[in-house]
Structure 1
Amino acid sequence: MPIVLQTTDYVVEQHDWESGPNAQFDYPCDKIAEGLNVVRTGNTGLLPLLRGLREFEFFRFYAVDLLASCSYMPTHEAPCDLDACEIDPADDVPQNMRERDENEYEFELDSWGRWDMPSDYTEYFDMQLTPEGHTEYDGSRIWRFIHRKLCFQLELDEPANRWKRDFNRAVGGLHASVSAAIIRAIGETDEEEALAQYRRRLRDEPGAVNNLYFAYMLSLNAVSDMKERLTTCNFLGEGPEVQPLMTALVDSDVLKNPAVMQAAANIREQTDAGLAWQARLRTRDLLRIMNCVQCSLCKLHGKVSALGLTATFQVLLGEGTREGDESALSRRRNNPTSPYSLHRVEVAALITYTGKLAEACAVVERFREIDEAAASVGSAEQA
């Protein structure tokens, strides 16, 4: 069944439970709607590849400062004392990874995002040993701040500002992926409650599912743009094992589909190079607001996902990433906004984030089927 697309103009609705305003939007191109359905049906082939990639050390370990200060709101009012929020640092971190991350760290004033600085408070965490789940932590303040303060708000109905709506849609997709992870975790023990949460958090939340698929399309566009680097990288010695899965991913029919690639084409065409700083400002703040999350597990996954979204925009909107000649290619390798300049942690976060979106889309399809089956049973009983 094709996805039913929203066709209304941009609308802001208030939701007390979690999200604040969430973007609804009209699709400026029929190919976007087609691309959403291509990704929806093609995700079953991509998901095993992304799961396999995320098992390798290159994509598992992230150095995070869980004690970094929050600059946006008081945190003493919403402390987290839930056992489910606590996580333990990783013990066996490859030494060459530590050295690579330390050597690559740099502070750029106008960067797309600033990852945690190596320090005595920064510890490595293994994403495979600290999976995303339902901790019962209330992140509503964080999401309201993101949607109301970090996302674009003014004159979004202007044709020249469509790219700002695309940005908001991508952030909404990140939010939807977190909701899907919560639903999946609840569903492991209580499918009925998970179905109720699916209806509340995704099905009935305006634009949530479409935003999720749109964010997934954007991340797949970024992975496609990274093809040359991803298929030649040695992944800190894991290259021979990683490359078969990575090659299958970047060469998949979904990533080659013109309708899927249209998502990035639209945002590139809409975004004037002189306005990209507005997106960079917001991706930096998106990473920083994650320091205000008081649940350690949520903070870890929030930071990695935010960095993945940041890397997506850096690849898609970075200056000079779409030139084709060899001299331009040489310049790109030294261009801080090119795919070749992404650090190890950014490349890893891009794949991890894409995998999270793929998992979230699978959750949507699972509970969409359960919901439709329940509706059919209800209709039959009424008849």
Structure 2
Amino acid sequence: MIRATVQRGAPFVLLWLFVGNSVFAWLGNDNVKSKKQKNGQSDYEATGSQDQNCFCHLTGILDDCFCDVESIDIFNNFKIYPSIRKLTERDYFRYYKVNLKRPCPFWPDDSQCSIKDCQVEPCPESKVPVGIKAGNYNKYSQASNTRSDVEECEHAHELGAINSTLSNQSREAFEDWARHDDAQDHFCELDDETSPDAQYVDLLLNPERYTGYKGPSAWRVWNSIYEENCFKPRSVYRPLNPLVPSRGDDDGEGFYNWLEGLCLEKRVFYRLISGLHSSINIHLCAEYLLEEPWSKAHWGANVREFRRRFDPAETKGEGTRRLKNLYFLYLIELRALSKVAPYFERSIINLYTGNVQEDGQTKELLLQIFNEIRAFPMHFDEKSMFAGHKLEAKTLKEEFRLHFKNISRIMDCVGCNKCRVWGKLQTQGLGTALKILFSEKEIQNLQENSPSKGFQLTRQEIVALLNAFGRLSTSIKELHNFRTLLKDQR
């Protein structure tokens, strides 16, 4: 069994709250209008045809919240996507350190994918910026170097940085202390960046796209995630195969019907996993290998594959739900970024690569993105979760955390190395977002908008957080492209 060993918490019936009245007051641009008809339907729904089945019901208010799909489309495609794409191309965010040699902890190794497109393009050590190689933590301003050793020790722990002037013994002690202290807040299994097997991967040289990795190995990964780690009512069991168009349920609703018997937190957990799965599938459909292996490789949009995974007619109605779960996940990570913004706005937090001009431009772009994000009026209210009886809420949150941490460990079972890189990165990004939203230190410090003495993010967490959100932003942008392609085929 791969199920995390946790104790079940009592279900809660909670409300999902959002703040703000209208996204259009925030937009402040009369030229950008919601796709609404006078009858209350979106024009996507009103003009839906058999060729547009993937989108004719992707409209209106999302389940479990009061934010609508159209508002997110406008916000993402016009405000966020252009900037987040530029940010993830900058040096600080393009290099991700990962251990691809960690063994699968749950079943015997079924060998790595032998397809050439599964392999990771190596990143020469000489290409990695010197500031990134020098340490995996945020660097602080030179002004702080005038402090005494004691002050430096305390300040280093506060920022998650270890001053190079400290002795090796002291530095190791602080690192051990920080790792032990943070372990209770981590929602995912982190690679040991000091391991000789850990390597830097240039994400721009290894884009996420379809590699040909499929079959029993890929199916077992997703099946283990859904079957062994997603919450289910105790009295219900239905077979699940998430990689086929229909999951074999006669009513066409499949696993989603189970959610009606779950409390909010457990519904949210499933929707986060489903949203992540949908986002990854959109990336594969948008960057699909269109040429045979013996000819020149060419990647592009595969409309037929997109229909297979998301058309309600081919998924017994589940395709639209899968896409809505993507939007739901987008809101969760969006709120995490909004909440953590004060951490990065402190002048002492620098995105350090060793290139002063590059670093300044990167942080300026990041702060511009945070300003746009915080202006969004329909943010998810994380206080609506784990808000019942304190002991029961604590038990449920720990169960939630361990289930997700278990899923992060399953990423080491992915046989395709390139798929493993992106799976680990996006899982760690979501885990970091959950840490920001639900860790005790976050609740205590960031909600008060005060300097977070106990809270810290490593460089790897920052890189994963922003790249993972960038992947979600790209997915929503790609939905617009697929909508256009389907319309053109009519």
TM-score by length of structure 2 reads: 0.64
Q: Which residue of 2 aligns with 1:88?
A: 121
SS in structure 2 of the partner of residue 123 of structure 1: strand
Match of residue 470 from structure 2:
355
Is the Cα–Cα contact under 8 Å of residues 218 and 263 in structure 1 kept in the other structure?
A: no
Whole-angstrom CA distance in 1 between matches of 2:190 and 2:448:
31
**1:123-174 Cα deviation digits (max 9, x unpaired):** 1111111111110101222111111112212266578721111121111111
Amino acid in the other structure paired with 1:202: F
| Residue number in structure 2 paired with 1:41 | 74
Of residues 373, 391, 396, the one that matches 1:275 is 396
Task: Name the structure 2 match of 1:226.
Answer: 340
Deviations 1:299-352 (A, max 9, x none): 11110011001011111111143447998835x421xxxxx4121110111100
In structure 1, what is the Cα distance between the partners aligned to 2:283 and 2:375? 28
Pair 1:128-2:236 in alignment: no
More displaced stretch, 319-328 vs 306-315: 319-328
- 8 Å CA contact retained: 2:233, 2:262: no
Unpaired segments ≥5 residues, structure 1:
5-24, 335-339, 378-383
CA distance in 2, matches of 1:367, 1:26: 20
Contact 1:64 1:123 in 2 (8 A): yes
Unpaired segments ≥5 residues, structure 2? 1-34, 36-41, 46-60, 138-161, 163-174, 235-257, 291-297
How big is each residue's C-alpha offset from its partner over 1:32-59, in whole Å with a ceiling of 9 and x where there is no partner? 3x2x332111112211111111012221
1:292 aligns with 2:408: no
| Aligned equivalents of 1:272, 1:128: Cα separation in 2 | 41
Larger radius of gyration: 2
RMSD over aligned Cα atoms: 2.9
Instruction: State the match for 1:9 in structure 2.
Output: none
Is the Cα contact below 8 Å between 1:214 and 1:263 reproduced in 2? Answer: no
**CA, structure 1 residues 325+234, in 2 after alignment: closer, same or farther (shift >3 Å)?**
closer
* Equivalent position SS for 2:136: helix
- Report the counterpart of residue 256 of structure 1 in structure 2: 375
Amino acid at match of 1:234: N
Whichever residue aligns with residue 235 of structure 1, its letter is L
- Closer, same or farther: CA 373–288 of 1 in aligned 2, 3 Å: same
SS in structure 1 at match of 2:204: coil
Structure richer in helix, relative to its length: 1
Q: Indicate the residue corresponding to 1:52 in structure 2.
A: 86
2:121 maps to a residue whose letter is D
1:235 paired residue number: 351
- Encode CA deviations 1:232-275: one digit per residue, 9 max, x unaligned: 331015441113321221111x543332x136454465793442
Q: How far apart in 2 are the matches of 1:321 and 1:39?
A: 26
- Structure 2 equivalent of residue 337 of structure 1: none
Which of 256, 262, 284 aligns to 1:182? It is 284
Matched residue, 1:196: 304
Distance in 2 between residues matched to 1:325 and 1:56, nearest whole Å: 27
8 Å CA contact 2:386–2:397 kept in 1: the answer is no
Q: Percent identical across equivalent pairs?
A: 24
Report whether the alignment pairs 1:318 with 2:420.
no
Partners of 2:447 and 2:268 lie apart in 1 by 31
Structure 2 residue matching 1:364: 3-state secondary structure: helix
Q: Quote the residue 1:74 is aligned against.
A: 108
Given the superposition, is the C-alpha separation of residues 99 and 150 from structure 1 closer, same or farther in structure 2, using an over 3 Å criterion?
A: farther
